[in-house]
């Protein structure tokens, strides 16, 4: 910053010296061979007046005539060029070396909100990478990877516990004992016991599936009518709850279900992470496009027919 101000002061001093020399050249009479005398002085004064008028109005002096006049005012011609820059419509007349330009990469171009949204909707964090928000991208990608790792972990553990309680049920629960208890219950009720499955469906709230599916393993541990099928049941009654093995089996199934619920929660986090990352990427991209963009430079302004170096600060939002 100190070097910047030293450079600014040097440029201002140099321009002031050049401007003073140009002003003295304009005001001083010029003697050109062949133009001495009244007529010559009159023609010279007219040329000076025309040049001053052209500088004031911003128009270039007419070409042609005595070419010596063009070489007589070199600093005045430089002043004319600067003055022309000032009089141009919407001209900044800035020194290019001090202007922050988008082409130079200092002011980044606008980015697509739709692209950022779609990138993060597919893979969380990629929209933030597109927007060059590296910490946010790392956070969303970390949540995504962590959620899938937890999903795989709990799913695998749930499958292991499922295999364990199914093996336990196959070892301690018997369909023969269960149907024997249904037959006893039917005989005690005085009903027709020719079709035990029909009696089961008519007398109880649940039934035993024909295959060992998820409902099969759920029913034998959850409902009292299947109690008699456990090998440690003392009563053999279909409506009792006296099996310790059944109780252990119930807790084994509960542990497996907890693992699957945790896996489901992980997938919920994945879905929420996709949505949140997509909207975050779109919002931050929109904020980036709307942020204040500043450029700093130098330009020359006309103050009382004098060119004055002025610090220029341009802001767009």
Instruction: Among 5-14, 42-51, 135-144, name the one with the lowest average pLDDT.
Output: 42-51
**Band of pLDDT at residue 307, cut at 50, 70 and 90:** confident
**What distance in Å separates the CA atoms of residue 175 and residue 239, rounded to the nearest whole number?**
16
- Looking at residue 126, its pLDDT comes to 93
Q: Is the pLDDT of residue 300 over 80?
A: no
For residues 17-23, average pLDDT: 52
Residue 108 has pLDDT above 70, yes or no: no
What does the domain layout of the chain look like in residue ranges? 1-91, 134-271
Encode pLDDT of 196-222 as tens digits. 888 888 888 888 998 999 999 999 998
Lowest mean pLDDT segment, chosen from 16-20, 114-118, 165-169, 171-175 = 16-20
pLDDT digits (tens, 9 = 90+) for 137-193: 999 999 999 999 999 999 999 999 999 999 999 999 999 999 988 888 888 877 677
Please check whether residue 80 is in contact with residue 60, taking contact to mean a CB–CB distance below 8 angstroms. Answer: yes
Q: What is the pLDDT of residue 99?
A: 40
* Cα radius of gyration rounded to whole Å, the chain: 47
Task: Give the model confidence (pLDDT) of 272-296 as tens digits.
Answer: 999 999 999 999 888 888 764 555 5
The pTM score is 0.55
- What pLDDT shows up at residue 219? 92
| Number of neighbouring beta carbons within 10 Å of residue 109 | 8
Measure the N-to-C terminal CA separation of the chain; round to a whole number of Å.
Answer: 25
Helix (H) or strand (E) holding 300: strand 293-303
Q: How much of the chain, in percent, has pLDDT values that exceed 70?
A: 58
pLDDT at residue 96 above 50? no
Mean pLDDT (the chain, rounded): 74
Checking if the pLDDT of 104 tops 90, the result is: no
């Amino acid at each position: 910053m100190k070097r910047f101000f030293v450079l600014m002061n040097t440029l201002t001093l140099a321009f002031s010296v050049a401007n003073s020399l140009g002003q003295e050249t304009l005001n001083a009479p010029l003697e050109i061979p062949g133009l001495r005398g009244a007529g010559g002085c009159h023609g010279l004064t007219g040329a000076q007046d025309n040049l001053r008028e052209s500088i004031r109005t911003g128009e270039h002096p007419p070409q042609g005539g005595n070419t010596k006049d063009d070489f007589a005012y070199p600093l005045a011609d430089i002043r004319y060029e600067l003055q022309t820059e000032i009089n141009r419509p919407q001209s900044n007349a800035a020194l290019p070396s001090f202007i922050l330009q988008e082409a130079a990469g200092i002011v980044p171009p606008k980015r697509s909100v739709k692209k950022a949204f779609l990138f993060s909707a597919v893979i969380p964090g990629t929209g933030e990478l597109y927007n060059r928000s590296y910490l946010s991208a790392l956070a969303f990608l970390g949540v995504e990877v962590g959620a899938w790792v937890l999903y795989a972990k709990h799913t695998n553990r749930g499958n292991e516990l499922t295999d364990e309680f199914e093996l336990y049920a196959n070892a301690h629960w018997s369909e023969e004992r269960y149907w024997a208890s249904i037959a006893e219950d039917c005989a005690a009720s005085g009903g027709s016991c020719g079709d035990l499955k029909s009696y089961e469906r008519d007398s109880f709230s649940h039934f035993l599936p024909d295959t060992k599916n998820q409902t099969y393993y759920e029913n034998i541990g959850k409902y009292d009518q299947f109690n008699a099928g456990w090998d440690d049941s003392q009563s053999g009654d279909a409506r009792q709850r006296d099996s310790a093995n059944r109780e252990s089996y119930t807790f084994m199934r509960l542990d497996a279900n907890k693992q699957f619920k945790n896996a489901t929660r992980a997938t919920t986090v994945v879905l929420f992470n996709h949505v949140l990352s997509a909207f975050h990427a779109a919002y931050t991209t929109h904020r980036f496009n709307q942020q204040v963009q500043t450029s700093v430079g130098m330009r020359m302004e006309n103050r009382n027919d004098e060119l004055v170096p002025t610090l220029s600060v341009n802001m767009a939002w």
